[in-house]
Structure 1
């Protein structure tokens, strides 16, 4: 039997003295994925004491979104967009660069695409 893994893992990482909210997407995200992860994102952002959050989005295993899931992602961006200072989108596909640019329309902070994890982390750490 073949399994199709998909979803989004959320965490808080610490590198040196810097904390980042991390998102790791896998597979093709569905509406059901967003029904599960939206409350987790709401809770994670509710626990952050800083007024603005820096985040690393790892899309290296992301294959895309179903249409309804893309709408869910848009709504989530509108709801929490003002809470982000910087989002580093780490990816490996050309369409992901466009996704990062489109996301910048709905996020008050900066979004920048990287194909290097080290460069993404340096940018988040203001290096």
Structure 2
């Protein structure tokens, strides 16, 4: 599992790079960082870049559900950049769990995803 959380030049945007299988331990890094940004900015925007991603283990799935329920209204935009058909399906699957504007991008569209996540339109 490779997991990297990066604050961008735009303060309310967080970029998350994921590969492998997401574990519960990754949430111990992601959640405090993200909650600090929510306190600081009110609403945040997430750019999630998936590379060779294999989903969640059971512990990570539970942490994800808790996070989604707790922060249902705190995420303004969610961009998912992926490489496969099921990752594209994740964008649709996420919609009922957030009020965020959710959009999927292919890996070749990473720059477009970065522009969209920061745009004001």
TM exceeds 0.5? yes
1:36 is displaced (CA, Å) by 4.2
Q: C-alpha deviations, 1:22-55, integer Å up to 9, x for none? A: 1111210122332443333323333x32x32222
Tell me what 2:6 maps to. 11
CA distance in 2, matches of 1:29, 1:39: 17
Q: Give the alignment's Cα RMSD to 1 decimal.
A: 2.0
Larger Rg: 1
Which residue of structure 2 aligns with residue 38 of structure 1?
31
User: What residue ranges of structure 1 are gaps of 5+ in the alignment?
Assistant: 1-5
Q: Work out whether 1:73 is the aligned partner of 2:68.
A: no
Query: Which residue of structure 1 aligns with residue 17 of structure 2?
Result: 24
TM-score, scaled to structure 1:
0.78
Higher helix share: 2
Report the Cα offset of residue 7 of structure 1.
4.3
Count of aligned positions: 117
Instruction: Say whether the 8 Å CA contact 2:37–2:44 is kept in structure 1.
Output: no
Gaps of 5+ in 2: none
